[in-house]
Amino acid sequence: MAGNSSSGQGASGAAAALASDRSVEYVLSQARTEDKFCAALAKMFGVRAKEVALMRLEHGLLRFLFPEQLKTAGSIPVSSSSSVAAHTASSKKTELFNTFAKVRHARVFETVKLSSPEEEGHLEHTAIQKLMSAAIMTPERKVLGVIQVSRKGFDLGSAGPDFTPNDVQQLELATKVAATMPFMLPPSK
C-alpha cells in the first residue's frame, strides 16, 4: 500500500507542476510586448525589471530588446568569447551562476545606467551577483535570442536568494513562450 500512496503523491505532484507550467505559459503569453514580457518574468522570479535582459539574434549579433537603456548601448557578437549571452546562444544550453561575480565575463553592459534619477542610489552601484541565461529557440532549435535573469547586489549576500533548478525550468519554459512572440521576429526591412 505504501507504494501506491507515494505514487499517488507523485502523480498529484506532477499534475500540480503541469498546472503551474500552464499558468506560467498563460501569463507570459498575455504579455505581447518585450516590456510586458520582461516585467512578467521579473515578477515571476522576484527580481527588478531591470534585472531581466532580452536579446534577439540578428545577423550574428545579439541585440538588446530590453532593458530600454541597452537598446542603443551596442550589441554582442555571437562569436564573443567573453560574453555569457554569446556562449548561451552558441551552446544552446541554459546556464546558472549563483556566484556570477567570480565568472570571467564582459562587463561593458553592466556599466550602463539603467535606473531613473529617483532609483539611482538603490541600484546603480551594484553588480550582477547571480545569473540565469537561456537561449530562445524555435522547435527546430534555431536560436532566436537569449533571456537573462539576474540578481544584483553590492555582494553575494545582498543580492537575494540563489536561483534554483526549478527557476531554471521556469526560465526554459519562458523561452518557449518567448519564441512565439511577435517581438522575437526579425525586424522587417
pLDDT of residue 69: 85
pLDDT of residue 107: 52
Indicate the pLDDT class of residue 102, thresholds 50, 70 and 90. confident
Which residues fall within 8 angstroms of residue 83, CB to CB, at 6 or more apart? 62, 76, 77, 105, 106
Indicate the pLDDT class of residue 106, thresholds 50, 70 and 90. low
Q: Is residue 23 part of a domain?
A: no
pLDDT of residue 38: 96
> What gap in Å lies between CA 33 and CA 56, rounded to an integer?
13
Q: Is residue 122 part of a domain?
A: yes
Mean pLDDT of all residues in 138-167: 94
Q: Is residue 39 part of a domain?
A: yes
Give 12 or 41, the one with higher predicted confidence. Answer: 41
Over pLDDT 90: what percentage of the chain?
56
Q: Is residue 169 part of a domain?
A: yes
Q: Is residue 24 part of a domain?
A: no
- At 96, which CATH number? 3.30.450.40
Q: Is residue 128 part of a domain?
A: yes
Q: Is the pLDDT of residue 115 over 80?
A: no
Q: How would you label 49-66 residue by residue, b for 16+ Cβ within 10 Å and e otherwise?
A: ebbbbbbbbeeebbbbbb
pLDDT of residue 43: 94
Mean pLDDT of all residues in 123-144: 90
Domain count of the fold of the chain: 1
Q: Is residue 13 part of a domain?
A: no
pLDDT of residue 3: 42
> What gap in Å lies between CA 53 and CA 65, rounded to an integer?
8
> What gap in Å lies between CA 173 and CA 158, rounded to an integer?
28
Give 38 or 125, the one with higher predicted confidence. Answer: 38
Give 18 or 41, the one with higher predicted confidence. Answer: 41
Q: Is residue 51 part of a domain?
A: yes
Q: What digits encode the pLDDT tens for the residues 23-77? A: 888 889 888 899 999 999 999 999 999 899 999 999 999 999 999 888 888 899 9
Indicate the pLDDT class of residue 104, thresholds 50, 70 and 90. low
- Domain extent, residue 87, equals 31-184
pLDDT of residue 15: 58
